[in-house]
Amino acid sequence: MTDSTSKSASRGERKSGFQVGRIFGFPLRLSVSWVIMSVLITVWYGDRLGDVLHLDGAARYLAGLGFVACLLLSVLLHELGHALTARHYGIGVKGITLDLLGGYTEFDHDSPRPGVELATALAGPAVSALLGIGSVIAALLLPDGTIADQIAFQLALCNIIVAIYNALPGWPLDGGRALRAVVWGIKGDRDAGLLVAGWSGRVVAVATVLISVWLYFTGWYQLVGVLFGLFVAFSIWQGAAGAVMTARVRSRYPLVDPVRLARPLFTVPTGTSLAEATRRATEAGHAAPVLGVADSDGRLIALVVPEAAAAVPEQRRPWITVETLARGIDGVATIPSGARGADVIKLLRGDPATPYLVVDGENVVGVLTVMDVVQVLDPAALKAAN
């Protein structure tokens, strides 16, 4: 099974394994899981082929290694189908990684329109289908009872299964990306497509479990096959669940308005005690302000750290000045008041409690933290965290 993903820098890199070179300019990586699986397939298939063709000694495992090399090439060609199609449409490719479940291709950014997404998603299964047909023809033309004939037959089976299974309409399979593109094209909403594809991916995962168990009890699968099927289903379920969550969060992006979410800033001069600053803020009608510290000219020079202020015992607050609990303004990042949704999220980094100044030109509108945004995007997660 293979899948292709599009990861932007803001969502983190999905790099694993080690780079073994470049192909058509794309970095090529092999994961440790693929190396382990290759060794296991070499031994298992070598023994199986050796029994069928009566091979002895090293010949068994050389035949198994030949099959693994052909399988590796098939997966690589599948991923190159995605990568070259993406390049054709001007989408940068970060690299191709081959892992336990086949492989994935990382893009610099999402497809700009549904048609591009559809073409890029289906390119991989199309390549696998062509490889499967080519392998069938090779198996028919090659002499029966030879190593090449057996490997061609097995490659035909593997590539046809990969083409069909990967085309199933469930995220994170290639068919899931195609489904997102179709819904996106119909509704004009990429995230609506992602939500549908995510739920469909959950259906595919459950169906994979049921079919794997059925094949085991009907004698088509051994226990190893069932376990692999369950592992595949678990991986698909995880990817699908992530897609559903991402779609739901993104649907709330329009609610991320830094001006509306910002907590008010109440400024007091240096030397003011914490008790006095709190009293003044309360009298001014601010229920939960962030305290700022101003110099003698009235310029904002620091922000009181709320956690530090909350940790001061009530009886000591008249004797603790606000600047001793403050962070210099030079170390506080800003967010333009006109930013919205994803633009705001891209600016938020670091500790969830880190304050950001929401500014309108040189005027400070208020103070925003990551947790203020999380409360809007995923109130349930925030409640669970508390």
Task: Show binding-site residues for Zn(2+).
Answer: 78, 82, 174
Question: Considering only CA atoms, which of 183, 179, 77, 66 is closest in space to residue 125?
Answer: 77
Residue spans of beta strands (DSSP E) within the chain: 5-6, 18-23, 26-30, 93-99, 102-107, 265-269, 290-294, 300-304, 326-328, 334-336, 356-360, 363-368
**The one catalytic residue among 13, 79, 106, 117:** 79
Cα angle at 83 between 77 and 84, to 5 degrees?
85
- Kindly report the three-state secondary structure assignment for every residue of 270-322: CCCEHHHHHHHHHHCCCCCCEEEEECCCCCEEEEECHHHHHCCCHHHHHHCEH
Spatial distance between the Cα atoms of 42 and 67, rounded to a whole number of angstroms: 8
Exposure on the CB side of residue 316, measured as CA atoms within 13 A: 10
Task: State how far the Cα of 100 lies from the Cα of 75, in Å rounded to an integer.
Answer: 11
Contact 177, 4 (CB under 8 A): yes
Answer yes or no: 323 catalytic.
no
* Cβ-proximal residues to 298 (8 Å cutoff; 6+ apart), any chain: 267, 269
Q: Tell me, what DSSP letter sits at residue 111?
A: -
- Which residues are annotated as part of the binding site? 78, 82, 174
Active site (catalytic) residues = 79
